Amino acid sequence: MSVHQYDENMRPDEEFVEGDFCYLVPGNKCRLLDGRRTTGNIEEYFEESDMFRWRITKYEDKGKYWDLPAEEVKRFQFEKDSKQLGRKSIKKIESTVRKYNSKITIKADPKDREQTQNKISKTKKQVKEWLNDNSIFLKENKEIDFTRKEGYKSLYKDIKNYMKDKNLIKQENLTTNSFVLNPESGEWVKGLKIVLAELGMVTYQGKKVRTDNIFKGVGEKTHRRKYIIHRLAFMRAFFELMNLKEVIVYRGMSTEKGWIEKNRTFLSCTYNYEVANAFSSMERVSKYKNSYILKMTLPIEKLFMTFFETASMNNQYKESEALLLYNKKIQI
């Protein structure tokens, strides 16, 4: 993947064993089964939530960590001499996994969606007024350059200032940082997905809540609802001021496994064809069994976050990313 750091001399899979609950021992070294086999180690296991902390030791996110459900350990490979838990501890983890692993569905009600869309429309008018009065970007630019590989610093300041004005900067920072690092790490993004479903925007089909603080403090549902409405209103107001009703995005993906069907709330795409192409692999002989690349023309109402206004999407990775609301099933 040319858009990411990559080790051409990575060790072969045969030197590792498949991840399992028995290896959830702090200190064990392992690597993620992604295309570049990102390395890390098990730092901690949280018994109450049945999650483990994986500290990254290679590539762009070196030093950062993910908090993942115990069952996600199967997405990793471990050193053959790794320490192992006893049978009693393994059974306890298996029992907790069964407790949390059941799926829940929160259907997006069309009536709730209509009310939410009305709130977004009203808020959008206020955002346009705010942008016309306060935007640094609008004073310097009359259009968006979709060939850019980095966002606009003036626009970073605009959305930060707007969120500060609305007392939503903590929610903004938590959301943007979570999406850039890993939206499946912890449960901040899961909380957003649930509230989006309750707002009637996108049906949530996923695992149940497993941490007590997901809807406390800055994550209270009232704060999350307010944040979602203002985030969507900001995006729509900004793109309308740029005289845009739709955008063209691309998505590339490859997998070493077979096709799977996922229920999504968000879909990550890119404005840059070369980036999408880097995520796909069309060579007849490669480790990837399946791959695709798509071009989509979508209304701006689908946009939740983009690299144009989000500073954290321009730090470690230069992916020209657009994060979309998605309400259909898509393969891999």
Return d(Cα 224, Cα 195) in angstroms, integer.
7
Across all residues in the chain, what is the average pLDDT? 93
Residue 222 falls inside a structural domain:
yes
Query: Are 142 and 258 part of one and the same domain?
Result: yes
Whether residue 285 sits in one domain with residue 166: yes
| Spatial distance between the Cα atoms of 25 and 42, rounded to a whole number of angstroms | 6
- Inside any domain, residue 65: yes
- Sheet of 303-306, strand order: 290-299, 246-255, 266-270, 321-325, 303-306
- pLDDT tens for each residue of 143-160: 999 999 999 999 999 999
Are 23 and 71 found together in one domain? yes
Cα gap 208→316, rounded to integer Å = 31
Return the structure tokens found at 264.
């999504």
pLDDT at 2: 59
Same domain, 86 and 131: no
Is 4 within a domain? Answer: no
Asked whether residue 253 is domain-assigned, the answer is: yes
Both 132 and 84 in one domain: the answer is no
Other C-beta atoms within 10 Å of 116: how many?
21
Examine the domain organization and report whether 165 and 144 are in the same domain: yes
Number of domains, the chain:
2
Cα dist from 315 to 39, 47, 170, 253, 310, whole Å:
20, 33, 19, 22, 10
Residues 83 and 141 placed together within one structural domain of the fold? no
Residue 248, in any domain of the structure: yes
Paired tokens of 159 = 């959305």
Angle at 55 between CA 277 and CA 190, to 5 degrees: 70
Domain final residue pick, 101, 116, 151: 101
**In terms of domains, do 191 and 307 share one?**
yes
The pLDDT of residue 7 is 86
Report yes or no on 8 lying in a domain.
Answer: no
* Residue 229 exposed, middle or buried by CB count within 10 Å (0-12, 13-18, 19+): buried
Choose one of 50, 71, 101: the last residue of a domain: 101
Whole-prediction pTM value? 0.90
CATH of the domain at 22: 2.30.30.30
Nearest-angstrom CA–CA distance, 58 and 31: 10
- Expressed as residue numbers, the domain containing 276 is 104-331
Q: What DSSP designation does 59 have?
A: S
Q: Residues 156, 95: one domain?
A: no
End position of a domain, from candidates 101, 131, 159: 101
Is 5 a member of any domain? no
- The parts of the chain modelled with pLDDT lower than 70 are 1-2, 327-332
> 87 and 138: one domain?
no
Indicate whether 323 and 181 sit together in one domain.
yes
Closest residue by Cα to residue 50 from 103, 96, 88, 104: 96
Segment 92-134, tens digit of pLDDT: 999 999 888 888 999 999 999 999 999 999 999 999 999 999 9
User: What is residue 87's predicted lDDT score, i.e. its pLDDT?
Assistant: 96
Q: Are residues 113 and 255 in the same domain?
A: yes
Contact, 100 vs 50, CB < 8 A?
A: yes
- Residue 1: what pLDDT? 45
Q: What tokens were used for 241?
A: 């001021």
* 19 falls within a domain: yes
